[in-house]
Every structure is written in C-alpha cells, then in structure tokens.
C-alpha cells in the first residue's frame, strides 16, 4: 500500500463502521417535529483549528433571522484534550497565532444595539480581543476594522478605521508585541503587510500632508524602521515576493484633467541583509513604454520566484470627461435663466455587438478597470508588454519565464460555451507561439513552471512549455475522468486536477470518489486510495492545511476529507 492509503484505512474503517452499525439495530421511534421545535435549532460557524491541533473555535447560536430572540452568540474556544473552554460573547472572525499560544477575534455589538446605531446613522464599531490560551489573559482594543498575526507569532497588527470625511486614505495602525505586550503606534497607514517569515512589516503612509507619504519597512526583531521611499505621492499595490526578501509598490500623482494617475514602479531587493538594492521604472524615461499609457494601480503587482521580474498592469491614459462637463455646466450656469439639461439613461442594442447590452452593463466597471499585463526585468532594465486587444488574458509561470495567453475574441457568444486560442508567450521578448486552438477547459500551470495542463477529448493533456510538445496523459488510464453528472449542453468536464507532486513527476487527478496518481510521462494512472472511495461511494479529497503550499508531497501523510 502507498503511505497515503496506509494512513487512510483506519479512518475509513471507522467511518464505515459508524455508517453500518445503526442499520443492525432496531430503528427507534421517530419524534414528530412541531413548529416549537424549530426554535431549538442552532447554527455552527467560525470553526478554526490551531496549527498544533490542540485548540478549536466554534460559534453555536440561533440563526440571525430570529430577530425577536435574545442575542446569545458566544464564541467557544475549546481545548481538545481537556475540559478547558473559553467563551467570548459576540465574537467573530477568530484566528490563531502560528505557535498556537494566542487567539484573536473581533467583538461585535448585540444585534439590537447595532440596529439602533444604524437607524441613527451612527457608526457600528467593533473591538478586537487578544486571548493568551495558557494564562487566560486578555487585551482589548476599541474601534478596530481588522487584525493580522505575523507569521512567527511575534506581533499582532491592528488597523483602526479611517477618519470620516478625510481625503487621505491613511489611518492608525497598532503593532502589539506579543513578547513584551507593548504597543507601537503608526499614523496615517494606508496599507501594511508582513513578509513570509514574519520578521519584517512593510507599510505605506497616506497623510493629509502628502510630503509625509512614503514606503517603510519595520524590522520586528530590532525595532528599526527603514524608510525605503518618501515622496508627496500616493503609494499603492505594495507586494512582497514569495520569500519575503523583496518588496515592490507603485507611487503616483494625479495628472490634472486626466483619469489615470501617473505611476512609477519602485522595487527593493535583498531586504533581509541589512540593506537593500533599489530599482525604478519611470514610464516617461523608458523608450519601450507606450507613450499613451500609464502603469495602473488597478492591476496587481507580482514577482517571479527569482525576484528578477515584476509583473504589473498598464492602462491607456484618457482625459477626464467630468472635468469638461463641469466646466460646461459652469459656463451655462453663468447665463441668466439657464437650466441644466436633464441626464439621459439610454441603452442602444445593436445586432453586431460582441456582447449583448445587459452583459456590457454588468461588466462595465470591470472593463473600465481592465489593464494589460506587462513585465519589467530588473537586471536588464527592460520593459515588455505581454497582452493587448488581440490577447487580453495571460497566466504567468512562477519562475516568470513563460506566459500562457488566451484569445477568445472569435468564440464570444450569447449562449455557446466559451473557447479560446492559447499562445505561449516569452516574457523576455513578448513573442507569441500558438499552442492550442478552440480549447474549452484549461487545468492550469504546474508550480515548477514546466507544464500547462488542459482537458480535451475527454482526456487530461499537458503541454511542455520549453519544448512545445503535447502529451495525452490519460489515454491509457484504467478509468474515465469524465464527470458523468455534468448536465450542461456542452463538452463534459473532468472532476479536476487536484495538485502536482513535489517531485515534479506526476499530477493527482480527481475521480468521482477516488484519487489517482497520473505520471507526466503518460504511463497509466495508479489508484492512490485503493478503490476504497468507489467501493463505499465516499468522495475522497486532500485537505490543504497550508494555503501557501504549492505541491503535494506524497512522502508525508496526507489528510483527506471523506
């Protein structure tokens, strides 16, 4: 048996025993449910497990729809190997620290009190409570919007709400030192984020006095605050790399009479070595950057794994139509007896529209905020545009070498299934190589950046990005991976690709019940769960306890949902 099946069998035997045992006993007399019994129902929510598996949170309460009933909400924090239980009234959104020593949660108001404040158009403020699980000691902060633990359980960041009516986006941030129990206060913070190891806290400032704005890093061990960049500008899209050693952001200023900010890309590498190396892309100074476009804060920033490339969005700069309209209205208003023209609300339908009018309306904001993906090579100081109107969507490999782009223009339809033509894109040059035509379903890129998986002709295929070769993986599989329950008038889907193995040699495919290991060289798939799922009609799927984990390591025990 595989390690996965060895760890699985005792669990499944317990499940099947529990399922079968009641059928051997005489069926008890069933109680008739009355209307009075419905008031006894409770809802379980806010379930969390600590990383060491010793603590659990859950909320056990009446449904909120029962407005006449007293608000009995109490978050239960239970130790799973003893009788110790903490109860916190009106607590929501619990989170454990990584070392399982602390739990933090928001504290709501009673439903009726919150309703009174809303009726009076007053803010409904929340608290944050921090509880030490061993001692029971508590710390509470009033008027809070969010909180975040650092990864190494040394700090808790607590965000205060923005001042009502303020034009700047910054608000107070409290950093609570979990070892010393001291609070560090930072003003006018617009965004913040811990790095992966939890040793550094990066944050941006947006104050009423713009000259105090900037990008900063705080070393949580030494308490040293390092200003990386300061300018009378707006900072946005602050992003760490995967390892937490490099940081990127945009800084921009509003251009009078235009819609988009004029942003620059700033980046800092080797941050954990006590110093940093700075990089900057100024569109006005880069000859390859399109003259009529800007770097947009509406597109996400992302790093490649080697911290040599940064991917971002660019957008066309356009005049602000509201400025012209306001000037026009002002001129008209100066004329004696003039009245402002009423605005119209008119939809024009045309048979030649790519999308029908209702879809255009629903997608209007998304279309306005759409950006084209581009890349900046830090060492080469080279800008490359990757997408445009002919190919608007792209997925990037983790190493940043390749992109897989989609062109769906000729397949857009009101009711037919959406298909796309796929292209391999070289991020160094922007060159596109045709991969696949009229493909309905993709299954994504491999975490090692070598393969692109897709579903075609009722089989799972892979495209090798370096060689450009394709391979049908499941043509010799002993089972079909087609979802026979798929009931749409379309090509039947698969049950999905669950993950890629850490050794880079296989994928794990979902069957209706079992899990199958499919080698990437096309050898027949092997049943990882020994057919136990199909035999008992139990759907088995891996449970990911670490959201940052990119691979499935079959050399270690794997927890399954059943």
Q: What is the pLDDT of residue 437?
A: 97
171, 163 contact by CB (below 8 A): yes
11, 557 contact by CB (below 8 A): no
What 8-state DSSP symbol labels residue 258? Answer: B
485, 528 contact by CB (below 8 A): no
- Residue 37 in 3-state DSSP? helix
Work out the pLDDT band at 405, boundaries 50, 70, 90.
Answer: very high
Nearest to 45 by CA among 76, 78, 88, 81: 76
CA distance 455 to 481: 10
Q: pTM value?
A: 0.86
Measured distance between the N- and C-terminal CA atoms of the chain, rounded to whole angstroms: 19
User: Does 225 have pLDDT greater than 70?
Assistant: yes
User: Does 401 have pLDDT greater than 60?
Assistant: yes
CA distance 406 to 415: 20
Q: What are phi and psi for residue 128, nearest 5 degrees?
A: -125, 130
Mean pLDDT, the chain, integer:
89
Residues 1-29: b if buried by 16+ CB within 10 A, e if exposed = eeebbeebeeebeeeeeeeeeeeeeeeee
Q: What is the pLDDT of residue 184?
A: 94
222, 274 contact by CB (below 8 A): no
CA distance 244 to 196: 5
Q: Averaged over 264-280, what is the pLDDT? A: 90
User: Does 103 have pLDDT greater than 60?
Assistant: yes
Q: What is the pLDDT of residue 29?
A: 86
Scanning 86-151, the segments in alpha helix (DSSP H) are 111-119
Q: Averaged over 356-368, what is the pLDDT? A: 82
Work out the pLDDT band at 17, boundaries 50, 70, 90.
Answer: very low
CA distance 369 to 216: 28
Residues 6+ apart with CB under 8 A from 111: 64, 67, 71
Q: What is the pLDDT of residue 18?
A: 38
User: Does 345 have pLDDT greater than 80?
Assistant: no
380, 429 contact by CB (below 8 A): no
- Distances 470 to 165, 375, 421, 425 between C-alpha atoms, Å: 57, 27, 15, 16
What 8-state DSSP symbol labels residue 363? Answer: T
Nearest to 86 by CA among 103, 72, 100: 103
CA distance 535 to 19: 14
Q: Kindly report which listed range (57-71, 186-200, 500-514) carries the lowest average pLDDT score.
A: 57-71
- Distances 132 to 99, 143, 156, 159, 178 between C-alpha atoms, Å: 11, 21, 13, 20, 10
Q: Averaged over 223-241, what is the pLDDT? A: 95
Dump pLDDT digits (tens) for 300-314: 999 999 999 999 999
Q: Kindly report which listed range (34-43, 109-118, 319-328, 381-390) carries the lowest average pLDDT score.
A: 319-328
Q: Averaged over 342-355, what is the pLDDT? A: 78
Nearest to 48 by CA among 76, 71, 90: 76
In 220-276, beta strands by DSSP E = 225-230, 234-240, 247-254, 261-269
Residues 228-242: b if buried by 16+ CB within 10 A, e if exposed = bbebebbbbbbbbbb
537, 19 contact by CB (below 8 A): no
CA distance 143 to 528: 51
Nearest to 227 by CA among 209, 239, 213: 213
User: Does 109 have pLDDT greater than 80?
Assistant: yes
260, 213 contact by CB (below 8 A): no
Q: What is the pLDDT of residue 541?
A: 96
User: Does 63 have pLDDT greater than 70?
Assistant: no
Scanning 486-547, the segments in alpha helix (DSSP H) are 532-536
Burial class (CB in 10 A: 0-12, 13-18, 19+), 532: buried
Dump pLDDT digits (tens) for 485-497: 999 888 999 999 9
- Residue 321 in 3-state DSSP? helix
Strands 526-527 and 515-519: antiparallel
- Using the Cα atoms of residue 392, residue 397, residue 403 and residue 409 in order, give the sign of their dihedral: negative
Work out the pLDDT band at 325, boundaries 50, 70, 90.
Answer: low
Q: What are phi and psi for residue 321, nearest 5 degrees?
A: -65, -25
In 33-149, beta strands by DSSP E = 43-49, 55-61, 74-79, 85-89, 91-96, 102-107, 126-132, 138-144, 146-149
User: Does 65 have pLDDT greater than 80?
Assistant: no
CA distance 398 to 451: 11
- Using the Cα atoms of residue 328, residue 333, residue 339 and residue 345 in order, give the sign of their dihedral: positive
Nearest to 249 by CA among 278, 222, 288: 278
Q: What is the pLDDT of residue 37?
A: 82
Q: What is the pLDDT of residue 21?
A: 42
- Residue 100 in 3-state DSSP? coil
């Amino acid at each position: 048996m595989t390690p996965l099946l060895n760890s699985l069998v005792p669990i499944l035997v317990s499940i099947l025993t529990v399922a079968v045992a009641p059928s051997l006993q005489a069926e008890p007399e069933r109680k008739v449910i009355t209307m009075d019994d419905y008031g006894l129902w409770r809802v379980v929510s806010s379930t969390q497990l600590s990383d060491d598996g010793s603590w659990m949170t859950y909320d056990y309460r009446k449904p909120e729809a029962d407005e006449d009933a007293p608000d009995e909400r109490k978050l239960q924090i239970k130790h799973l190997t003893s009788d110790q239980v903490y109860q916190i009234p009106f607590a929501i959104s619990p989170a454990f620290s990584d070392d399982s020593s602390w739990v933090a949660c928001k504290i709501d108001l009673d439903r009726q009190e919150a309703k009174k404040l809303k009726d009076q158009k007053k803010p409904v403020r929340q608290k944050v409570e921090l509880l030490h699980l061993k001692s029971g000691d508590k710390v509470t902060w009033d008027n809070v919007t969010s909180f975040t633990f650092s990864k190494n359980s040394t700090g808790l960041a607590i965000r205060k709400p923005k001042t009502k009516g303020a034009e700047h986006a910054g608000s107070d941030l409290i950093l609570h030192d979990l070892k010393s129990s001291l609070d560090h206060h930072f003003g006018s913070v617009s965004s913040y984020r811990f790095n992966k190891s939890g040793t550094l806290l990066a944050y941006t400032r947006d104050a009423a006095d713009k000259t105090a704005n900037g990008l900063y890093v705080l070393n949580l061990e030494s308490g040293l605050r390092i200003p990386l960049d300061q300018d009378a500008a707006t900072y946005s899209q602050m992003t760490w790399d995967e390892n937490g050693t490099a940081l990127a952001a945009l800084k921009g200023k509003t251009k009078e009479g235009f819609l988009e900010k004029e942003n620059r890309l700033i980046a800092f590498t080797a941050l954990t070595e006590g110093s940093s190396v700075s990089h900057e892309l100024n569109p006005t100074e880069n000859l390859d950057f399109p003259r009529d476009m800007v770097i947009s804060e509406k597109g996400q920033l992302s790093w490649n794994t080697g911290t040599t490339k940064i991917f971002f969005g660019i957008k066309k700069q356009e005049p602000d139509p509201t400025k012209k309209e306001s000037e026009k209205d002002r001129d008209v208003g100066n004329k004696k007896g003039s009245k402002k023209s009423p605005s119209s609300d008119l939809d024009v339908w045309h048979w030649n529209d790519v999308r029908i009018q209702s879809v255009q309306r629903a997608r209007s904001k998304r279309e306005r905020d759409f950006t084209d993906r581009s890349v900046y090579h830090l060492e080469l100081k080279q800008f490359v545009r990757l997408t445009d109107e002919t190919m608007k969507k792209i997925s990037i490999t983790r190493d940043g070498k390749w992109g897989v782009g989609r062109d769906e223009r000729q397949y857009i339809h009101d009711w037919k299934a959406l298909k796309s033509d796929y292209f391999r894109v070289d991020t160094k040059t922007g060159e596109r190589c045709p991969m696949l035509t009229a493909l309905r379903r993709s299954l994504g890129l491999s975490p090692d950046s070598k393969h692109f998986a897709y579903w075609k002709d009722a089989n799972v295929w892979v495209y090798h990005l370096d060689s450009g070769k394709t391979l049908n993986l499941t043509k010799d599989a002993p089972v079909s991976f087609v979802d026979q329950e798929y009931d749409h008038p379309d090509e039947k889907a698969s049950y999905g690709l669950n993950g890629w193995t850490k050794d880079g040699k296989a994928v794990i495919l979902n069957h209706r019940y079992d899990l199958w290991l499919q080698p990437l060289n096309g050898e027949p798939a092997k049943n990882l769960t020994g057919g136990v799922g199909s035999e008992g009609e139990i759907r088995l799927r891996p449970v990911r306890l670490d959201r940052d984990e990119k691979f499935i390591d079959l050399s270690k025990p794997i927890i399954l949902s059943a």
